[in-house]
Amino acid sequence: MKILRILIPLLLLIAAFVFFGVLPRIRNTQELKAEANAEKSREPVVNAVPLKQGSDTTGLTLPGQIQPYRQTPLFARTQGFLRKWYVDIGAQVKQGQLLASIDVPELEQDIARAQADQQLAKTNLDRLESVQLPGAIAKQDIDTRRSGVAVAQANLRRLQALKALQEIRAPFSGVVTTRNAENGNLVSPGSGQPLFTISELGSLRVFVDVPQTYFQMIKVGMPATVSVPELHKTLRGKVVRTSGTLRTDSRTLLTEILIPNPGNKIPSGLYGSVKFDMIASGGPVLVPANALKVTPDGAVVVVVGPDDRLKFISITLGRDYGTTIEAATGLTGQERVVLNPNDQLHEGQKVRLYKPVPAKPVA
């Protein structure tokens, strides 16, 4: 009995120790293991945002060279001495207006001789045709005389045409931009410098070299804005033609814009800033900068599919706008990309989307 009185309290003490000390620890350990296992199997939460389709409404701005609508150098078309010039640089001229005349003294003698030869050939032909006696003049002789008259007339017309070349006239209305002619100068066809240069400035051509990246966006008839900062002027024009092929040295497309120049206030030869008002039919896809994941194979974005599974897509980067970057290839603009992707994510992994808790209204 004495032993039982000793064992019973001891057993009660041990039972209390197990119930209140050991069992809770075991239960806590099991709960921690269960939570750890659940955490391992739990789908990661990611913050995904939809992409934006950019419309390139900012346009493309490039430098352009302003040139006259028409510009023609005028050379001498016959050899002689410049008798007199009648217009100087800056003069407004009309089409057909006389600019200068060339003196060719020997040409006058050649014309006089050709006139005499023609008259003689005509007189000889009239004499033969005046003979009334049948068979007295052979038909071949008459044909020969007639041919001689035709040759003399052709030679006279040739010399008269050369005489007309002694006058230098304006081929169109415009402004004289250069004059290299001086009275008494010996001039000849194909000489080095032109006598005059005539420019039509009522309209101006602006030539722009469009890079290969944008050449497909350039269309004939599309609007363009030409700015000349030095003159504080901005003019509206349009694309009238392109070269159709890219230059092999610069990979650029030569593009011509036509702009009005009322009052000839804008001189040719200036450089201007040309802005094409282009809107790409399928604008570039804009990707948040913090959605990019750089790998040894290039830039990659992590996309959340319709089934909430991840897909890694390689993209080609375009222009960098700071917070966003163009994706030239790889994306359609309809995807959802993961922001700040980490190394824990992998292809085909199922995820849960982060949903921000709405802020409570302030009472």
What are the tens digits of pLDDT across the range 161-202? Answer: 777 777 889 999 999 999 988 888 888 887 678 899 999 999
Q: What is the pLDDT of residue 131?
A: 63
Q: What is the pLDDT of residue 256?
A: 95
Structure-block tokens of residue 151: 């040759």
- Specify the domain boundaries for CATH 2.40.50.100 within the chain: 72-187
Going by pLDDT thresholds of 50, 70 and 90, the confidence category of residue 81 is: confident
Q: What is the pLDDT of residue 242?
A: 93
Q: What is the pLDDT of residue 267?
A: 87
- Whole-angstrom Cα distance, residue 51 to residue 329? 14
Q: What is the pLDDT of residue 179?
A: 92
Going by pLDDT thresholds of 50, 70 and 90, the confidence category of residue 98 is: very high
Residue 122 has pLDDT above 90, yes or no: no
Mean pLDDT of 117-135: 72
Percent of the residues in the chain that have a pLDDT greater than 70, as a whole number? 79
The residue type found at 299 is: A
Mean pLDDT of 206-216: 89
From the candidate CATH numbers 3.50.4.10, 2.40.420.20, 3.40.50.300, 3.60.110.10, the one assigned to the domain spanning 45-55+282-353:
2.40.420.20
- Whole-angstrom Cα distance, residue 75 to residue 99? 12
The pTM (predicted TM-score) of the whole model is: 0.54
Architecture of the structural domain at 61-67+200-276: Beta Barrel (2.40)
72-187: which CATH topology? Answer: OB fold (Dihydrolipoamide Acetyltransferase, E2P) (2.40.50)
Residue 253 has pLDDT above 90, yes or no: yes
- Whole-angstrom Cα distance, residue 357 to residue 363? 18
